[in-house]
Amino acid sequence: MDITLLNNISKNTLASHLEIEFTGAGENWLTATMPVNEKTQQPFGYLHGGASLALAETIASTGSWALSDPDKQQVFGIQVSGNHIATAHKGFVTATARIVHKGKQTHTWDVTITNEKGKEISLCRVTNMIVKKKQ
């Protein structure tokens, strides 16, 4: 997976608005960071759970896109769940997505979001549907 390409296709999307940046990739995994700032915080100054879920879906959907044939297939998130187990109020969080099921029509990813010290903030699961592009 080409990190520069992944960051370029995210321009002018929710990912770029939330300042999500892809930072690493391997055969069945992907990492990305997101700042904890006024764009991603709830009104009380802590990381918004919805921003964490957006990060998880972004990284998992991008991973599925990279594992599919983008000329013939489209990826859609069909299920996202998360357990928020700690808070963050400044700095950056890092998401690490690992594929746990790679079927012909669905991919399932486990996404762990940690703070700068490596403490787990959220544990998420994302399922994507891989569909044939319409002509």
Confidence of residue 112 (pLDDT cuts 50, 70, 90): very high
Query: Residues 32-66, buried b or exposed e (16+ Cβ, 10 A)?
Result: bbbbbeeebbeeeeebbeebbbbbbbbbbbbbbbb
- pLDDT interval class at 125 (50, 70, 90): very high
pLDDT digits (tens, 9 = 90+) for 65-98: 999 999 999 999 999 999 999 999 999 999 999 9
Which of 135, 44, 52, 50 is closest to 93 using CA atoms? 52
Which residue among 38, 57, 116, 120 is the active-site one?
A: 57
Which tens digit of pLDDT belongs to each residue from 10-52? 999 999 999 999 999 998 999 999 999 999 999 999 999 999 9
Count of CB atoms situated within 10 Å of the CB of 120:
13
Active site residue 57: yes
**pLDDT band at 134; cut points 50, 70, 90:** confident
Average pLDDT estimate for 106-134: 97
135 CB-near residues (< 8 Å, 6+ apart): none
Does the structure show a pLDDT above 90 at 135? no
Q: Which domains occur in the chain, in start order?
A: 3-132 (3.10.129.10)
What pLDDT score does 1 carry?
A: 76
Q: What is the pLDDT of residue 127?
A: 98
